[in-house]
Amino acid sequence: MHSNTFSPIHIFKGKKKMKLLVLAILTISLLFPFSLLNFLFCSLLAFSLNYWLIPGGFAWRNHHRFSVNLPGPSGWPLLGTLPQMGPLAHRNLAAIAHSFKATRLMSFSMGATRAIISSHPDTAKQILCGSAFSDRPVKQSAKLMMFERAIGFAPNGVYWRNLRRIAANHMFSPRKISDLEGLRREVADEMVAEVSGNMASEGVVRLREVLQKHSLKNIIESVFGSGMEMGRKGELSDMVREGYELIAMFNWEDYFPISFLDFSGVKRRCNELAGRVNVVIGQIVEERKRVNNEFNNDFLTTLLTLPKEDQLSDSDMVAVLWEMIFRGTDTIAILLEWIMARMILHPDIQAKAQDEIDLCVGGNRHVRDSDIPNLPYLQAIVKEVLRLHPPGPLLSWARLAVHDVHVDKILIPAGTTAMVNMWAIAHDPSIWKDPWTFKPERFIENDMSIMGSDLRLAPFGAGRRACPGRALGLATVHLWLANFLHRFRWIPCSSTKSVNLSECLKLSLEMKKPLNCRVVSR
């Protein structure tokens, strides 16, 4: 029974789908008897339906003995579930898992890529925190843009472990995060000034533009220090924007193990971009090597002053610095845009947060990092937005099984892509009371860590590949949010209907319509 040869008969004996297959072939045979067309059509149909019938779909064809125990959609012949995923893959996969009663674990196919997805904290923990899923399936565009030499896509091994250690000890340590507070406060002040300026000149705040511009500045200066000339900043900003566009583009080669012609030009553009990144960041590294001030706080100085045994080659340094700018910009801007949309839609919650800030900070000084532990309601707001609008609803980048492993006592073969639908978990009514209601109070009543120890809400992932930038990301979001609420009352442009919560999943889950609003100084 456990043979590798695929025989639909023994898998689907007595099942409805088999009857459907036979019925379809019989019908065609009756309609076009004795013709070549009949023969070809029936063969094609039988071939397609064979794969269509496999639980989990086409990509599980050589592993049906595993997937037979694992509910999941057969999807389309060859394409699997790709056509059903669409631009809101987190919602569609959640609905499919629900319909198959497969929230704990579901098999599916993305073209020839064999995949499982968990929409439950127990199986999510097994996937994220075990050692088996410690690799990532590499997207073609990520590879071409050099991310395989950076933390996010480096294969599990000595090099990746070394990078994680350097990141944890030197780039995202509590001390480094506190060293960067001055920069975060400076950027907060600049954003407040720009918001006031927008209001004075146009009567409207285009918040997305403000957030994108200043998060980029914040991360560029965290990585390279201050004093970079405008032209170079502009160049880095263009490269990041181009990179987002390319990594979000659909690429057949990510799902089929054959090389397609580069019709959309993704590969050509990725190669060109990688060339520019190497030149621009390579030059910055070279210049800094000539005149390095070891007392600077930025990541580049940190990498250049590492002990000899930890030193990275120039090209690896370029890849790591490039990834930092890339990952550190959109996640923070996107999360803050969602938070401010929620603040405008829930003025009572906004006012409650402002009361808390006023009580803690008063009116004569600006908010500081050290105030944040005394602002539990503000922290609860951030958690509630991360629950309802996680920037990585499918945890951004999937994991890959490096060896055969049991999840929920089901054997998953090596090479299977594993995803966690954090959005589905965070909206599950059996886990969360009133999951669709925006209610930060739930975290005051029952607080929980969101750093990866409790899989009911782990927006930064968990386990050995969890987000290394999570503490820095949260410190930034808390400080900027507190500043925004301290200085302004945030109101909609016309009615609250002007705030549209529609989503669009690119690399991160963005608001489909950029948030425009108004502010009143406090």
- Residues lying near ligand HEM in the complex (CB under 6 A) are found at 128, 151-152, 164, 323-324, 327-328, 331-332, 335, 391-392, 395-397, 459-462, 465-470, 472-473
Q: Give min distance, CB of 473 to ligand HEM, in A.
A: 3
Q: Give min distance, CB of 415 to ligand HEM, in A.
A: 18
Q: Give min distance, CB of 491 to ligand HEM, in A.
A: 25
Q: Give min distance, CB of 371 to ligand HEM, in A.
A: 20
Q: Give min distance, CB of 308 to ligand HEM, in A.
A: 24
Q: Give min distance, CB of 47 to ligand HEM, in A.
A: 36
Q: Which is nearer to ligand HEM, 71 or 298 (CB)?
A: 298
Helix axes 314-345, 207-224, angle to 10 degrees: 150
Q: Which residues of 392-425 are buried (b: 16+ CB within 10 A; e: fewer)?
A: bbbbbbbbbbbeebebbebebbeebbbbbbbbbb
Q: Which is nearer to ligand HEM, 164 or 456 (CB)?
A: 164
Q: Give min distance, CB of 147 to ligand HEM, in A.
A: 9
User: Contact at 8 Å (CB) between 356 and 378?
Assistant: yes
Q: Where are the alpha helices (DSSP H) in 291-427?
A: 299-304, 314-345, 347-361, 376-388, 422-426
The bridge status of strand 405-407 relative to strand 488-492 is unpaired
Q: Which is nearer to ligand HEM, 164 or 366 (CB)?
A: 164
Q: How far is Cα 476 from Cα 45, in angstroms, rounded to an integer? A: 56
Q: Which is nearer to ligand HEM, 157 or 265 (CB)?
A: 157
Q: Can you tell me which residue has the tokens 């209907």?
A: 497
Q: How far is Cα 218 from Cα 350, in angstroms, rounded to an integer? A: 25
Question: Residue 103: helix, strand or coil by DSSP?
Answer: coil
Q: Which is nearer to ligand HEM, 56 or 137 (CB)?
A: 137
Residue 283 zone, left/alpha/beta (φ > 0; ψ -120 to 50; rest): alpha
Residue 467 annotated as binding? yes
Q: Which is nearer to ligand HEM, 126 or 396 (CB)?
A: 396
User: Contact at 8 Å (CB) between 508 and 334?
Assistant: yes
Compute the Cα dihedral for 370, 373, 377, 381 and give only its sign.
positive
Which residues lie closer than 8 Å to 127 by C-beta, 6 or more apart?
Answer: 116, 118, 133, 399, 407, 418, 420
Q: Which is nearer to ligand HEM, 68 or 336 (CB)?
A: 336
Q: Which is nearer to ligand HEM, 135 or 428 (CB)?
A: 135
* Beta-ladder partners of 420: 118
Q: Which is nearer to ligand HEM, 17 or 456 (CB)?
A: 456
Report how far Cα 81 is from the mean position of its chain's Cα atoms: 20
| Degrees to nearest 5, angle at CA 387 with 475 and 106 | 125
Q: Give min distance, CB of 10 to ligand HEM, in A.
A: 37
Which residues lie closer than 8 Å to 461 by C-beta, 6 or more apart?
Answer: 128, 392, 395, 396, 420, 452, 467
Q: Give min distance, CB of 328 to ligand HEM, in A.
A: 3
Amino acid letter, 266: V
Q: How far is Cα 82 from Cα 265, in angstroms, rounded to an integer? A: 21
**Residue with smallest beta-carbon separation from ligand HEM:** 461
Tell me the binding residues. 467
List, as residue ranges, the binding site for heme. Answer: 467
